[in-house]
Structure 1
Amino acid sequence: MSYKSDIEIAREAKKKPIQEIGAKLGIPTDHLLPYGHDKAKVSQDYITSVQGNKNGKLILVTAINPTPAGEGKTTTTVGLGDGLN
C-alpha cells in the first residue's frame, strides 16, 4: 500500500477562510490579524485574555529546518492542528 506524502496531502487540502477557523475556535474576528484569506496572527490582547482558562494550549512553531520536500513550519502546524482537532 502506498501512502501519500505530507506535501501531497497539504496540496490537496481545501482551505477555509481564516475567520471561519477562528470562529470554530472561539476567536472573535476583531482579534485576528489576517495575512491573506487563509492565515492570520492572533492578537496579543486575545492571548492575554484566555491565559487563565483551564483547558487549552498554545503551541508556537517558530523555527524548524524544512525537509528536502519543503515540509517545515506550515506543514508541522497543520499536522498539529489536525491532530488536536
Structure 2
Amino acid sequence: MEIAQQATPLPISTIAERLGISAEQIEPYGRFKAKIPLNVLEARPYRREGRLVLVTAVSPT
C-alpha cells in the first residue's frame, strides 16, 4: 500500500504518446484513465508481457 501511495501517476495522454497511440484512439476518463480499443493494442508493432484489465460493469455503491 505504501508503494502505491508514493507513486505519482502520469497523465494518460503522456502514456499514450509514449506508446505511439494518438489522442483520437483513446477515450479518456479523467486525467489518468482511458478506454483503448483492443484493435489498437493488437496492432502495436511490439507486444510486451503485461496485464489487461477488462471492466464490464461498475456497481453504483
> What is the CA deviation profile of residues 37-65 of structure 1, one whole-angstrom value per residue up to 9, with x for unaligned ones?
101111345235x16x4x214632348xx
- Counterpart of 1:17? 11
Instruction: Provide TM-score, normalisation by structure 2.
Output: 0.66
- Counterpart of 1:73? none
| Amino acid aligned to 2:19 | L
- Counterpart of 2:51? 59
Segments of 4+ in structure 1 off by > 3 A?
none
Give me the whole-angstrom Cα distance separating, in 2, the residues matched to 1:37 and 1:14. Answer: 12
**Aligned-pair CA distance for 1:27:** 0.7
Q: Going by fraction, where is helix more abundant, 1 or 2?
A: 1
How do 1:2-81 and structure 2 match up within 5 A?
Answer: 7-47=1-41, 50=43, 53=45, 55-57=46-48, 59-62=51-54
Give me the whole-angstrom Cα distance separating, in 2, the residues matched to 1:25 and 1:31. Answer: 12
Q: Which runs of 5+ in 2 are unaligned?
A: 56-61
Instruction: Provide TM-score, normalisation by structure 1.
Output: 0.50
Secondary structure at the residue paired with 2:35? strand
Give me the whole-angstrom Cα distance separating, in 2, the residues matched to 1:43 and 1:61. Answer: 12
Structure 1 vs Structure 2 CA RMSD? 2.4
Higher gyration radius (CA):
1
Q: State the percentage of identical aligned residues.
A: 33
